[in-house]
Amino acid sequence: MEHIDKPKDIRQGEELEPKILEAYLKDTIDGLSGSLEIQQFPSGFSNLTYLIKVGETEMVLRRPPVGANIKSAHDMGREFKILSALRPVYPYCPKPLSYTEDPGIMGCPFYVMERIPGIILRKNIPKGMDMPADSMKKLCEKLLDVQVELHSIDVKAVGLENLGKPAGFVKRQVEGWSGRYRKAKTPDAPDYETVMNWLAEKMQPDTEHPTIVHNDYKLDNVVLDPRDPMNIIGVLDWEMATYGDPLLDLGNSLAYWVEKNDSDEAKIMRMMPTHIDGALTRKELIARYGEKTGRDMKAMDFYYCFGVFRLAVIAQQIYKRYYEGITKDERFALLIGAVQILEKTALNVINQSKL
């Protein structure tokens, strides 16, 4: 099917050593036979993702980006552990297959997981794919419900209570991301001091009911069933998952959600088709989450503003790697524009908030 997410040729400077990798895979994963083929998935701005094919078996390899030094954001072993623990109770997780820290294979830790072939919606609905308003509404509802499912998992029962520290979680997030922004700031970036000060002033108390937090849950991180695109069959990119306040997770998701009635400037940075007819609004997503979980949603301005700020920090960290010449990926040059637009979005939330 043409809508299936497809890999492309490997970008210059991000190649893998095929002979060493093939030997490792056949030594550690049962049942592999045939020659090795490697391609790269072109989307995403963080960890590098490759399609690995050995004979008829397709797998996905994840490794840190070249030149990255943000250890907590690119901890392959941690990500592998999360998938291993969640897979039995949350079948949307890809099945983890192998992990190694041996620097002799590709010079960094990496892991391999099963491939979940399916549709991933990116900026626009693919040509030839039908997505009427009622279908889009159903998909948005399903997207929110799958996030609620994640937040309902018994963390201790799956052995992930040490994944994070819920006590002081919100404070650490606000202070930590503020520090990261100041460290990643380049001369052409806005200072964000008004936003950071407001977040510190309006900081919410710790939740009494912490959950697993995906930390990057969004439409282009889920896999849709090719036979029924309204059905989600996979959730990807667990590199920033932790244990903490689920409303921060929701706020992070809402930061990506560009609506039909948002400004043209905001739509410039749209990465998903959340603007089309039938798509739920941010207010509708918040209301549905409250109905499904029974949580108090009155402070969502804080959580949404934090999500917008955090997204800006991530973009700025990646942009700094490009600014300093560590990576030559030309997509990263555009991220400074996103950082500037996101500041306006955050300030608009602050100016309209009644908190």
Can you give the pLDDT at residue 188?
96
If you average pLDDT over residues 279-287, what whole number do you get? 98
Predicted pLDDT at 13: 80
Please report, for the domain that includes residue 100, its CATH number.
Answer: 3.30.200.20
Q: Looking at residue 191, which CATH number applies to its domain? A: 3.90.1200.10
Parent domain of 310: 133-352
Q: How confident is the model at residue 337 (pLDDT cuts 50, 70, 90)?
A: very high
Span 212-231, pLDDT tens digits: 999 999 999 999 999 999 99
Co-location of 67 and 163 in the same domain: no
Same domain, 52 and 143: no
| Same domain assignment for residues 78 and 142 | no
Total structural domains in the chain? Answer: 2
Out of 55, 86, 114, a domain closes at 114
How open is the CA angle 256-261-263, to the nearest 5 degrees? 75
Q: Are residues 151 and 92 in the same domain?
A: no
One domain, residues 274 and 345: yes
**Residue-level pLDDT at 69:** 53
Band (70; pLDDT cuts 50, 70, 90): very low
Tell me, yes or no, whether 177 lies in a domain: yes
- Does the pLDDT value for residue 272 go beyond 50? yes
On the question of pLDDT at 72 being above 50, the answer is: no
Weakest-pLDDT range from 187-191, 212-216, 295-299, 328-332: 328-332
**Do 107 and 184 share a domain, yes or no?**
no
DSSP string, 308-333: HHHHHHHHHHHHHHHHTTS---GGGG
Contacts of 333 (CB under 8 A, 6+ apart): 319, 322
Instruction: Identify the weakest region by mean pLDDT among 116-130, 133-147, 164-178, 231-245.
Output: 116-130
Task: Indicate whether 204 pLDDT > 90.
Answer: yes
Report the C-alpha gap between 355 and 350 in whole angstroms: 9
Per DSSP, helices labelled H in 202-245 are: none
Residue 8 lies in a domain: no
pLDDT in tens, 11-65: 888 888 899 999 999 999 999 999 999 999 876 556 889 999 999 999 999 998 8
- Give the HSE-up count for residue 47: Cα atoms under 13 Å, Cβ half-sphere: 25
